[in-house]
Structure 1
Amino acid sequence: MKAPLDKNLIRELCQSYGVLEYYHNAVGRKRVVPQGTLLALLKALGVPTENAQDAREALRQKEAASWQSLLPPLLVQRITTEPPWVALSLPVDVAQDIWHWRFCPEKENAREGTFQPASLELLEEGRIGEQVFRRWRLDLPFGPGLGYHRLTLQGPDGLRAEMPWITVPEACYTPEAIQESRKVWGPALQLYALRSGRNWGIGDFSDLLQVLDIATQSGAELVGLNPLHALFPDNPHHASPYSPSSRKFLNILYVDVEAVPEFAHCYAAHDRVYDAHFQADLRALRGTDLVDYVGVAAAKREILELLYHAFRETELPGNGERARAFRQFQKEGGEALFRLGVFEALREHLQTQDPPPWGWPVWPEKYRRPEAPAVTEFAAHQSDRVEFFQYLQWVVAEQLDAVDRRSQALGMGIGLYQDIAVGVDPGGFDAWNDQDLYVSNIHIGAPPDAFNRKGQDWGLQPWHPLRLREAAYAPFIALLRANMRVAGAIRLDHILGLMRLYWIPADESPARGGYVRYPLDELLGILTLESQRHRCLVVGEDLGMVTEEIRDALRSWGILSCRVFLLEVDPQNGYRPPEDYPAWSVAALTTHDLPTLAGFWQGLDLDTRNALDLIPDAATRDSLIVERARDRSFLLLALEREGLLPRGIRVQSADLPKLTEDMIGAIYRLLARATSAVLLVQMDDALAVTDQINLPGTAGQY
């Protein structure tokens, strides 16, 4: 019988594979991760944990691989005046031979030369079995420019290695609008929450064009948005923009159907939309208190089907301007866009089953991998449906492009400030298309903290850190390019995830999770390169249990931090004074994940959390109520300190003053004095909305 793993072996495995044995919780106390959780996380990483013999063999093979691989999986190196170099690992018996190197820059001619490993600077020595290996420093005789390059080594007896070499900038792009200590502001909103006299019950990109016009008239230099990621067209109930099917494609519900060029010439669509019954349905959709996602999706899908058929019958055969533009879009979208069309067509086809499967992990086996023969056969037989879903991505991308052009024409210093979710839904397209790069039976979330005493399970699937690196971060690069394409700034939700993510084993509570490390500097380096190439400001959402290590890294790479006023409170000294805000940050009063100002003031968020059983016990509820009363008093004191307290309001009064328009204005004037480079104004606060948009730790119940 094989022996189980002991504590020392588990510790060695954790250190080798980047699993943290403990972390410090929201109040700074050390939290030791349960051994069962550590074993579950190691198993999810592909480490055998059933017995000590197999686990030690896995460690041995991992160590051997580090010596037997001539080059690392890739190199991400900051541009420097120092000679660039890479570590080369070879058996000592080939170190006297002459080797050949070839460096292929991204946009220049290749350069090459020869070297003798034994003459290089020796870094370290190791032994695998009877064979001795040495690691040398191979310097390039020139400094590569910024970009994605490739180094190839050729040695005796067919020995050969290739490595992506990525040279990155010192820091992310800084727009001229915030250079030299200048400051900008803009509204922040959830696009789906917009209502207008012409939309179909959900905000769309034509509404966003109007928002840009209104914002710039008021002096705004940016407009902050929720993630625009693709969701699930066949399942409109799955509405969270932070639980997307794909972070590389767009949510088709944001398309303004009547602004699609085909609508002007499609009589069938005109007749249907302007029918009295259809118009009545649209008025009803605009009149609901909450977004009727099912109704909106049905209305838009019906008309978009008509527009696609008109396009297919009248535009494509003639190969006119619209047809050529669509074919170019398909070409640029490449394999990923084609596979998205196949994925959506498959979902649509399988919805006819009883009951329909929730996602690809429970599809018939033959459809579970995108390269499977059955998937290829299905795509061939359903080419028109595959093309339909590509068409949907095209028309929504066209309208987002128009928004970007409008922001530039208006002279906005930044433009669209677009949010990027931290992960993807396990049943969605990204997880299907790149499934070998994702970890199974693991969700990401957060441990218990002051706002979520039971912790959070976001239901999202994480990347496998080692496989992601072996793939030279191709999915991460594609994600950045897709979102930076039309954004003047991006906000990376939970940027701590580039350093470590809180993994929760399947069927466990969020409190029984643990952290797994990611290659922070390499990910940040690639982020800076794409930021400079797209002239895109980068903001990192660094709220919650964030270490100084990650904040130091953000400053080092030129990434703006987030500072939320409602969280910047000290139990003894009250709210942070405006002059103490970091200059390289984005200041906001609250966020979509926190109470609105009106909800905070009235304590409605506490009532909601208590009703949904998100507060663990009565004692905790009582302490939260006391803390809220204290924080409201601190807010009044902060206004008084800055000379902004509205007339007639007294700090020492026992009665809670009403949150009037003057009061809201005073609070925002206080925040506007912060030394942060960017100020966000939540539209929910400007309109005194009481209900917060999102309640972390909930799904269907809120």
Structure 2
Amino acid sequence: MPLCAAAAPPSGEDQPVTSTPTTDEWGIDAGWLDALDEEHEVAQATIDQLREVIGQPPADLEERAPIVARPGDALEVDRADVVCEDGEVRSIDGELPADFPLGYHWLSSPEGRRRRLIVSPGRCWLPEDRAWGWAVQLYAARSRDSWGIGDLADLRALRRMAADQGASFLLINPLHAVAPTPGQEASPYLPATRRFRNPLYLRVAEVPGAENVDLEEDAGRALSDGSLIDRDAIWARKREVLMRIFFAHGGGEAFARWREEQGQTLQDWATWAAIVEEHGGEWHTWPAELRRPESPELAAYVEQHGAVVGFHAWLQWALDLQFTAATGDMTVIQDLPIGFAGGGADAWAWQDVLAEGVSVGAPPDAFNSQGQDWGSPPLIPWRLRDADYEPFIQSIRATMAGAGGLRIDHVMGLFRLWWVPSGGTAADGAYVRYPAEDLLDIVALESSRAQALVVGEDLGTVEDGVREAMAEHGVLSYRLLWFEDDAPAEWPADAMAAITTHDLPTVTGLWTGEDVEEQREHGTGTEEELQRGRTALLEHLPGLAEGAPVEKAVTRAHELLATAPSKLLSATLDDAVGELRRPNMPGTVDRPNWSLPLPVLVEDLPGHPLLQEVAATLAAGTANDRRPAPGE
């Protein structure tokens, strides 16, 4: 696709960690070095607990685990036959020929062993030219026809606006599905699945068959009257109308063909969603006979509840149609969360690969003295290998599909993840290592096939070697004005450059002091910490007189951003319309995070003067395509 690419908040200053900790055979680091270069030792009790959770891999794991290689690589495998994806059988003897096809193949040894052979180009696809685009919290981008939440028709309108302005991409929040029940999860970074989309984003009037049903559009549009996004009310209304459309239309042969093509993966999702409607969104509490996807009793359940299972499969078909129409020929960089809900569909489907009794987070650091627990269960590294990397492959492929770009949230998690044992605090955790080289090669293979660029969110405590590995694999770094000590003109070329993220202050919120006032209101730090943090961020906006109009602060920030030689320049719609509040304030529980609509409707964005000025500034910046030569 042409380019014309949590929440897991950043944790500390983005400086590399240079110490190499001792790692045991379970992949657990005995210690860790924080962003202030202070060494910490992991408690033995934590190590013992994590060892028990991880368990011992089978003795023959190395003989059956997948081989990830590149054409021309030497292999620790003697003569063997390889059944390629297209059915061709090729023989290899100690190395892969330089012309060996990329893809997912099966290697058979003379002894009859069969194992997966993943052949990667080793580097992600990248566009030739520099480009700029908008970062969009889609749920917040409401129009006059929205039913309380920004939807895929609004994404289509944003894409057209962006194209008219000369932008080449949109970066959007994760659109992954959550449990289809009341109590809708608001955070896009804690989905039930990373493989299917959230039907809240459907434009109901454009679903096939909608023309034959009374949609009660006025009641739907009235959902936008509130000052916040009420996902429970929106889902209740949309589900009721969508169910009527489904029973009246059903999708016909087109849906039937699509459903068959999707196979068991879609069936598992739709089955999980149907069970959730009856038994709740936490599969651990379901009747025992439904807790495993391979349960014999599950087939009987699906037969008895076929209509509801079909409805949830049909919703994904409708989402696929609308997403394709929304993206058109523009690159839409989709966001891949670091994990998924422990009671969700992916956890149910891959329960044998997940670690029980632990969750993913971040250690204490300069950004958060208590550390963080993000609530997602981690994949056990050796079990992930034993599953032929399938959970990872499916998540990358599904999130990348049909859009041309991928942003990997907390990309350091491909190298190591901070595991937090249950019953303890985030400070009681430890780092567990992952097969980063294999995972990056898989990302490169999927990127190459989809012609999709990849951005890695490398904010926070970045271990030595991570950015070098990203660069080697063609994964773009992520650089923020609020975080970088160097001027934007000195930032790397192989990066996405931006001012802020969903977890950090908007320019207007920072400049006016409103963000600090809101932090003070929610008790996210002492007065000294809050003022020191604001002062540090304001240092990144040189050349502005105190008390200058906020429009000048927004313009100045984007003028600085436009000087970055980075391949991608990204501006948030929040900044471009002068929004005071950030989408998410980490560490708060009584704030409506992820539920704040933009103050300007989608139809009115093209005429917004500040937004137009930001667009013109970035367009002019990318028109000057002079970038440093390699090594310069």
Range into which the TM-score falls when normalised by the shorter chain:
0.7 to 0.9
Alignment of 1:35-434 (within 5 A): 35-46=44-55, 65=60, 71-80=63-72, 84-87=74-77, 101-107=80-86, 109-112=88-91, 138-139=94-95, 144-155=100-111, 160-175=112-127, 179=128, 182-266=129-213, 269-270=214-215, 273-274=216-217, 279=218, 281-312=219-250, 322-350=251-279, 357-404=280-327, 406=328, 408=329, 412=330, 415-434=331-350
Deviations 1:68-104 (A, max 9, x none): x6x3512111223x6x32256xxxxxxxxxxx73222
8 A Cα contact 2:181 2:277, kept in partner: yes
8 A Cα contact 1:501 1:516, kept in partner: yes
| Cα distance change on mapping 1:425 and 1:147 into 2, 3 Å | same
8 A Cα contact 1:79 1:170, kept in partner: no
Shift of 1:261: 2.1
Distance 1:141 1:602 in 2: 61
Does the residue aligned with 1:17 lie in a helix, a strand or coil? coil
Q: What is the match of residue 125 of structure 1?
A: none
Deviations 1:185-209 (A, max 9, x none): 0111100001211110100011111
Does the residue aligned with 1:192 lie in a helix, a strand or coil? helix
Q: Out of 350, 360, 380, which is 1:444 matched to?
A: 360
Deviations 1:445-467 (A, max 9, x none): 11123332211111111111101
Shift of 1:668: 0.5
Deviations 1:461-519 (A, max 9, x none): 11111011111111111112212211111100001010001110112111111110000
Deviations 1:512-553 (A, max 9, x none): 111100000000001101101000000000000112311000
* CA RMSD, 1 decimal: 2.1
Q: What is the match of residue 588 of structure 1?
A: 498
Q: What is the match of residue 543 of structure 1?
A: 459
Does the residue aligned with 2:403 lie in a helix, a strand or coil? coil
| Cα distance change on mapping 1:698 and 1:440 into 2, 3 Å | farther
Shift of 1:144: 2.2
Name the TM-score, length of structure 2 as normaliser.
0.86
Structure 1, 390-399 or 492-501: larger mean CA deviation: 390-399
Does the residue aligned with 1:460 lie in a helix, a strand or coil? coil
8 A Cα contact 1:225 1:416, kept in partner: yes
Larger radius of gyration: 1
| Cα distance change on mapping 1:140 and 1:555 into 2, 3 Å | closer
Deviations 1:575-615 (A, max 9, x none): x2122100000010000011111222244444444444443
Structure 1, 603-612 or 209-218: larger mean CA deviation: 603-612
Shift of 1:14: 5.3
8 A Cα contact 1:26 1:448, kept in partner: no
User: Structure 1 residue 29 and structure 2 residue 38: aligned?
Assistant: yes
Distance 1:631 1:78 in 2: 43
8 A Cα contact 1:565 1:588, kept in partner: yes
Does the residue aligned with 1:16 lie in a helix, a strand or coil? coil
2:460 partner amino acid: G
Q: What is the match of residue 531 of structure 1?
A: 447
Deviations 1:201-237 (A, max 9, x none): 1000111111011111111000110001011211343
Q: Out of 557, 569, 575, which is 2:473 matched to?
A: 557
Shift of 1:288: 1.3
Does the residue aligned with 1:289 lie in a helix, a strand or coil? coil
8 A Cα contact 2:507 2:553, kept in partner: no
Does the residue aligned with 1:466 lie in a helix, a strand or coil? helix
Does the residue aligned with 1:329 lie in a helix, a strand or coil? helix
8 A Cα contact 1:330 1:390, kept in partner: yes
Deviations 1:312-341 (A, max 9, x none): 4xxxxxxxxx52211122112211111111
Higher helix share: 1
| Cα distance change on mapping 1:675 and 1:359 into 2, 3 Å | same
| Cα distance change on mapping 1:660 and 1:450 into 2, 3 Å | same
8 A Cα contact 2:360 2:420, kept in partner: yes
2:490 partner amino acid: D
| Cα distance change on mapping 1:288 and 1:104 into 2, 3 Å | same
Distance 2:235 2:465 in 1: 44
Does the residue aligned with 1:228 lie in a helix, a strand or coil? coil
Shift of 1:699: 5.0
Distance 2:590 2:346 in 1: 23
The answer for unaligned runs of 5 or more in structure 2 is 1-20, 593-632
| Cα distance change on mapping 1:614 and 1:32 into 2, 3 Å | farther
8 A Cα contact 1:531 1:538, kept in partner: yes
Distance 2:28 2:47 in 1: 7
Shift of 1:658: 4.1
Shift of 1:140: 5.6
Shift of 1:109: 2.2
Shift of 1:659: 4.4
8 A Cα contact 1:172 1:558, kept in partner: yes
2:558 partner amino acid: Y
Distance 1:694 1:19 in 2: 31
2:576 partner amino acid: A
8 A Cα contact 1:443 1:458, kept in partner: yes
Higher strand share: 1
| Cα distance change on mapping 1:39 and 1:659 into 2, 3 Å | farther
Q: What is the match of residue 630 of structure 2?
A: none
Distance 1:602 1:335 in 2: 53
Q: What is the match of residue 576 of structure 2?
A: 686
User: Structure 1 residue 628 and structure 2 residue 580: aligned?
Assistant: no
8 A Cα contact 1:236 1:297, kept in partner: no
Q: What is the match of residue 577 of structure 1?
A: 487
8 A Cα contact 2:138 2:155, kept in partner: yes
8 A Cα contact 2:511 2:553, kept in partner: no
8 A Cα contact 1:245 1:428, kept in partner: yes
Distance 1:504 1:139 in 2: 41
Deviations 1:617-672 (A, max 9, x none): x4xx414413422442x2343xx3xxxx5xxx3xxxxxx41442122112201111
Distance 2:237 2:342 in 1: 28
1:288 partner amino acid: G
Distance 1:111 1:628 in 2: 61
| Cα distance change on mapping 1:501 and 1:603 into 2, 3 Å | farther
Distance 1:34 1:520 in 2: 25
Does the residue aligned with 1:437 lie in a helix, a strand or coil? coil
Does the residue aligned with 2:534 lie in a helix, a strand or coil? helix
Distance 2:188 2:368 in 1: 20
Q: Relative contact order, CA 8 A, sep 6+: which one is greater?
A: 2
8 A Cα contact 1:74 1:165, kept in partner: yes
The answer for unaligned runs of 5 or more in structure 1 is 1-11, 48-60, 89-99, 116-137, 313-321, 351-356, 570-575, 650-655
Distance 2:81 2:108 in 1: 5
Distance 2:323 2:370 in 1: 39
Name the TM-score, length of structure 1 as normaliser.
0.78
